[in-house]
Structure 1
Amino acid sequence: MRRTTRSGGRSGGRIRALAATAALVAAGVTAAASPALAEDEVHGDALAGHWAPFDRCPVDDPAMLAADGVESAALCLASSSESGTMTIGEKVVPTAGTDLQLGLLGDGVNYTSVAPEGAGIQAEPVTVPGGLLNLMCPSEIPVLTALCEKAADSRLNRVVATVEPAGTPTDFSLTAGLGVGQPIVTLPVKIRLDNLLLGGNCYIGSDSDPILLQPRNLSQPALTLTRYAPDGTAEPTGAMSNVALAGADQGDDTFAVPEADGCGLFGALDWAVNAQLGLPSPEGANSLVLDAADTTTGGFYTPAAFAPDQGRLLAEHWHAAHQ
């Protein structure tokens, strides 16, 4: 009874606005910049109707299930971008399709993220233009000259770059997500370089020393609100709602890039990658741009109305929406 009474007060007022305000966080989450996804991208089972963006939402996480809708509400977040670029020094690598999904727990102002089982951030690997010849050649160093000559064989030259998560996103800012030019979230990532000569364990950055991206909107996103029934079908007064932010480019030019590690047999080529890429690369020498990011935040339109079981009911509806 006490929680029901509070849902009509100041705390409940914050939660009633939570479905709309939480979407502001989402405007920058896509800028995880092509993190790790295998070539055969794997998603969860398809969800019906307006549930479709959230096929990996961690609704069964104990923290999500425990959300009461008043003190904290559970939401689903999905963010994607089809293209972009990452620049390290003078080297430019394109980014491909990305898919970030997270659970969000918050009170309408402050949020923490809950990652789904496995990686919350997934993306398609990208073939580096010019391959090893672009990353390490030409060179006047004899050892590298020999590698450059070998890399003339296209099979040895191909380098695939995959940006992977290196920790949990932090520092969500709702107000920054609505506007332009302010950091929205901190995203720790690392870059894996796959090549026959570099091996499969060549990384720039690590879990202990990640690249810390702080994306911000480079243009104003367009916001739309959709109401729907718990089964995912459109309904103007439905209990569920999605808030979508679309079309805004996102970027960051403030991050540093640490040294490479694990390149070549026993790391024998770490120094070569570092020398040719100028690693470590200081803040201001690198940049990220994600084109036309689309982000959707979904959950109950008025979470407090479903207290004290909002998180559990969100999970029930999510499971029922599986096709």
Structure 2
Amino acid sequence: MPAISPRTRLATVSALTALGAFASLGTATAAEPALNGEWAPFTRCPVDAPAMLAADGFDRTPQCVVSTSSSGSIKLGKTTVVTGKTNLQLGVVQKADGTSTVVAPASGALVADSATVPGGLLGLMCPSDIPVITSICKTLDDSTLNRITATMESVGAPYAFDQTAGVLTDMPIVALPVRIHLENPLLGSKCYIGTAANPVLLRPENRNYPEFGMSFYRGDGTADEAGEMSRINLTGATQNDSVFSVPAATGCGLNVGLINAAVNAKTGLPSSSGNNSLTLNDTRTHLTGLNAPGTVAPDAGKVLARNWHSAVR
């Protein structure tokens, strides 16, 4: 296999980040630091994670990745939910053999606006011929009881990452096992679509080529064409997966499982491949790393971390 340059590695890995938005429809996060200049988007890069710090810059090259999307949608069976802004941040350790290891922040890789299920409980399970569900439906004039929010959560490590597919179109880039948490006072706290043992498995693909840009900067984030850091910017791509299947909802109802049948019947779950779809619009991906990590080997990971911390304002 021919050698792959660090900059090519940066470009190919970068498309992975747009996928992260698929893995969250609504997530909270702690306050993030403000970073200077070109470092600004990378507020949650896990530069201090052991795998990142151990990257030597020769066999293992450390990089920071962030990807955002302004909007999107997900269709599960008969239900479509419009998503808001999403943000994924990761560390990536690129290996000399062309494979890579993804490192998530300790607090989680994904942050996103909350998504509201259209129609709430009324739309999700009413009307119903199940007596207990009929009784619940009569109480749902109260908007607080009716409203449902959806949060998509990772339930396993991503795998099957294809570096080449990341910059091409119509090829699966990575496999992402997730579950969807449906939250409402009457659904209880354990209502999920998908589980760790039987997840929703997303394999998103680029539908168009992103626009490419590149910038250079000093370790503290100050723009400088002769700087030791580089940043790749990929913008405007749409990502989609329309071949995943969706398992039935479980754990729904204050008496756990009581409402499962109603939710599944109205939503059309389980739903086989071809009946579901996920789309992210206008993805914007940034990937950064040392221009010449080999020149600071075996301390590339430590240098990257030092630079990130020097940019914190």
Contact 1:43 1:56 in 2 (8 A): no
What residue is the counterpart of 1:267 in the other structure?
A: 257
Q: What number of residue pairs does the alignment pair up?
A: 310
2:290 maps to 1:300? yes
Contact 1:19 1:298 in 2 (8 A): no
Match of 2:93 among 105, 130, 152: 105
Which TM-score applies when normalising by structure 2? 0.93
What residue is the counterpart of 1:173 in the other structure?
A: 162
Cα RMSD over matched residues? 1.8
1:74-93 to 2 correspondences below 5 Å: 74-93=62-81
Q: Which stretch of structure 1 is more off in the superposition, 227-236 or 275-284?
A: 275-284
User: Matched residues in 1 for 2:245 and 2:196: separation?
Assistant: 15
Match of 2:140 among 114, 138, 151: 151
Residues 189-211 of structure 1, C-alpha deviations (whole Å, 9 max, x = no match): 11111111112221111223221
Counting aligned pairs with the same residue, the percent is 45
Contact 2:72 2:82 in 1 (8 A): yes
The CA deviation at 1:94 is 1.0
User: Matched residues in 2 for 1:160 and 1:128: separation?
Assistant: 6
2:13 maps to 1:25? yes
User: Matched residues in 1 for 2:267 and 2:259: separation?
Assistant: 12
Residues 226-253 of structure 1, C-alpha deviations (whole Å, 9 max, x = no match): 1111010111121101111110010100
Letter in 2 for 1:107: K
User: Matched residues in 2 for 1:230 and 1:307: separation?
Assistant: 16
What residue is the counterpart of 2:236 in the other structure?
A: 247
Contact 1:24 1:174 in 2 (8 A): yes
Match of 2:83 among 82, 87, 95: 95
User: Matched residues in 1 for 2:111 and 2:154: separation?
Assistant: 8
Which TM-score applies when normalising by structure 1? 0.90
Change beyond 3 A, Cα 1:26–1:58: same
Residues 30-77 of structure 1, C-alpha deviations (whole Å, 9 max, x = no match): 2332516545x4342111111111111111111111111111101111
User: Matched residues in 2 for 1:180 and 1:261: separation?
Assistant: 35
SS where residue 27 of structure 1 aligns?
helix
- Runs of 5+ in structure 1 lacking a partner? 1-9
Contact 1:204 1:261 in 2 (8 A): yes
What residue is the counterpart of 1:120 in the other structure?
A: 109
Contact 2:15 2:166 in 1 (8 A): yes
What residue is the counterpart of 2:306 in the other structure?
A: 316
Match of 2:190 among 198, 201, 205: 201
2:206 maps to 1:222? no
The CA deviation at 1:138 is 2.6
Contact 2:212 2:232 in 1 (8 A): yes
2:32 maps to 1:56? no
- Runs of 5+ in structure 2 lacking a partner? none
User: Matched residues in 2 for 1:38 and 1:252: separation?
Assistant: 21
Return the structure number with greater helix share: 1
What residue is the counterpart of 1:281 in the other structure?
A: 271
Change beyond 3 A, Cα 1:172–1:56: same
